[in-house]
Structure 1
């Protein structure tokens, strides 16, 4: 009997806040406005949204926050009862610091989690032999630089240093008994990001931001448990490795101010999920290797956002996002459940100089997605609540 452990099972993002296993809520201010921040956001979280906009900081800006992601996803095979995941709160934090020692140049560093999620199916889940419990976390350290080439044009660039960790538990079916496998691993990778921002008109700005793909070569240990005697010679504890590419992204945005205290913004983001075509774990014993096709597609994501200044100190925000799933129905399985996402967002911010506080909320609706994967057809659906809090400091 050949037992397979696909890399996609390890990633098992479950109901990640964004499609695939992306986390795009790296600041509560942007979250409240639907994440449509590429053309206008000028606090230190611009290191994530568009590094060129760091130049908008006066002298020093610090933001520190956390995002609570509370997902719920269901799985239903034809003619069977609905099954679900155990409630799991994922709290990816973010920290950004920008210092502007010169009139036209700014330096900064960000620490955040742009990819990752946790997935824990209920006890006795019927798809536990494809995926049961898993987690992925990526921690980016992003030193950055931005320069104002012209009063109407800015440029920025940064280095992405990534640390990725994975952990997986899944069942193994031996017909007359069940075993399990636990696997953990980690590795470093690196990439870069660049951005530009231009003032097209006095009340119309444009932003463009690119973040490169990052190759990660996981190295870890596979621990097999409750293995029948006849399989123990093959399914022994051993080392395992795998390669994964965290996708590149390109985002273009516009920001329009019809009134001095009203901002309207639109972002379109291209995420290159096509790197997930056929990936698998490579075990120390190659006879149990078996790559599993996924054939993910690159996708466009669209976001609309608005910010209104009620007073000089109080702002309110709202947004809407359409975020399609990169997974084709024919390869959708419980190891990496996914669906098209529609998000509605709200936010509020208050400034009490030199401090500020921002709250952001997303409701994420996962549209029904019918899998035609061989051996495990099912309908996936669900929702998620996302709560963000970011505190800021700016002495000016």
Structure 2
């Protein structure tokens, strides 16, 4: 046994320290549920201005998502299809990380990001001069990060993936020449999967402490037995899904043909994700260690595979937008608030009511600020640009490798091609400069999970294209 491992084992013997089972579960390392994991990428035209003026632009069918009141300004039926690709780069830079009990430290995890597809489609139809209806299909929340096997944070996170699907029928009503209102229902489905490695050497150590407390083993035997069961690594995965309802609403006030403001609101959506927690335990030739693992993995055991659920309340979002046109130039601005404080903890519960783990999140509400402009180059081409600043919802104290979120700055460009034959094509690109995120996380139990100390360096590139047909 190494000197460092012997020192840890001796401290356990003296202090009779026992590992809470929740510290061994994948979800105890932090929520995977960006700010946070909200996806604004529902429109290439809005991406080109860094999502400024989203609730006031009201110039195509994507207004169904951003402000349904904006449908009142559309004069033609419009079908729109949007395809966005989000390239996430996220790499951990080790500072002074410490290995978990009985385990090697591991590698740096590689690039946890990759390309992610965000599709959307919209159909808007004016009924008369006062009413319009529409339908949007999109993905308002999502996340995927996957680290290399064997990395130093493997006991905290390996794969974190969330997908949502949203169906959004909407209606708008023009109350007067200046004022329009809109409302939509949102039927939303969520699927999530969280995985990580499990330190079964720590599981054995917990069991040894129980045996010592029961008088079945002498305390002096613990260092040797931990050494005999060193390097035991298993795997766990939590999967779940659910469907729920929410709503969105907005108003649009037009001071003139050239100036308007918009206000929009998207409600919270409450979920109870039901699924399973599955463990793949490690094996050992040591009979005492094998017995402890078998007992923990048996039906009713602390690390048994079985049904589990998680309650999750996705945030509400309020946006205020401004649009102003001066000749060939359009100016836009956004201020948006997201209620991420709806997520204060992540509690995983078995179907028996037993709580597997409770992870403090303490997420905070965030603000986003964006300004943008377009320039009408000629009858066919319009150019776009914008910048934005996006606050993180994750405090330093609860940031984990599952969501290494940080404040970021957007720089975006785009263009529109309108050949004048009912087809309109938009493209957009944005680069997000993310601040380095400090990582100082042991999940309350460095013996079970190690101590992840360093910085996460991240950047995001977004490309988007949309095709609209008016008829």
TM-score range, shorter chain: over 0.9
Alignment of 1:366-385 (within 5 A): 366-374=434-442, 375-385=451-461
Alignment of 1:1-396 (within 5 A): 1=19, 2-4=21-23, 5=25, 7=27, 12=32, 18-36=34-52, 37-79=54-96, 83-175=109-201, 176=230, 177-227=232-282, 228-233=293-298, 234=301, 235-259=303-327, 261-284=328-351, 289-352=356-419, 353-374=421-442, 375-395=451-471
Contact kept? 2:26, 2:157, Cα under 8 Å = no
Q: Where does structure 1 lack aligned partners over 5 or more consecutive residues?
A: none
Aligned in 2, Cα 1:370/1:154: closer, same or farther, shift over 3 Å? Answer: same
Cα separation, 2, equivalents of 1:294 and 1:274: 9
SS at match of 1:150: coil
Give per-residue Cα distances to partners, 1:78-117, cap 9 Å, x unaligned: 2468543344211010000011121121000100001011
Q: Where does structure 2 lack aligned partners over 5 or more consecutive residues?
A: 1-18, 98-106, 202-229, 283-292, 443-450
Aligned in 2, Cα 1:288/1:214: closer, same or farther, shift over 3 Å? Answer: closer
Work out which of the two has the higher radius of gyration on C-alpha atoms and give 1 or 2: 2
Shift of 1:372: 3.7
Aligned in 2, Cα 1:288/1:213: closer, same or farther, shift over 3 Å? Answer: closer
Aligned in 2, Cα 1:9/1:42: closer, same or farther, shift over 3 Å? Answer: farther
Cα separation, 1, equivalents of 2:189 and 2:129: 34
Aligned in 2, Cα 1:312/1:24: closer, same or farther, shift over 3 Å? Answer: same
Aligned in 2, Cα 1:77/1:266: closer, same or farther, shift over 3 Å? Answer: same
**Stretch of structure 1 that moved more, 279-288 or 333-342:** 279-288
Aligned in 2, Cα 1:265/1:350: closer, same or farther, shift over 3 Å? Answer: same
Q: Which has the higher strand share?
A: 1
**Stretch of structure 1 that moved more, 234-243 or 224-233:** 224-233
Cα separation, 2, equivalents of 1:289 and 1:193: 35
Task: Flag as ranges the 4+ runs of structure 1 deviating above 6 A.
Answer: none
Cα separation, 1, equivalents of 2:304 and 2:26: 17
State the TM-score, normalizing by the size of structure 1: 0.94
Q: Which residue matches 2:15? A: none
Shift of 1:330: 0.5
Q: Which has the higher helix share?
A: 2
Shift of 1:174: 1.4
Contact kept? 2:26, 2:196, Cα under 8 Å = no
Aligned in 2, Cα 1:230/1:66: closer, same or farther, shift over 3 Å? Answer: same
Contact kept? 1:9, 1:336, Cα under 8 Å = no
Contact kept? 2:323, 2:333, Cα under 8 Å = yes
Contact kept? 2:86, 2:115, Cα under 8 Å = yes
SS at match of 2:69: helix
Contact kept? 1:10, 1:136, Cα under 8 Å = no
State the TM-score, normalizing by the size of structure 2: 0.79
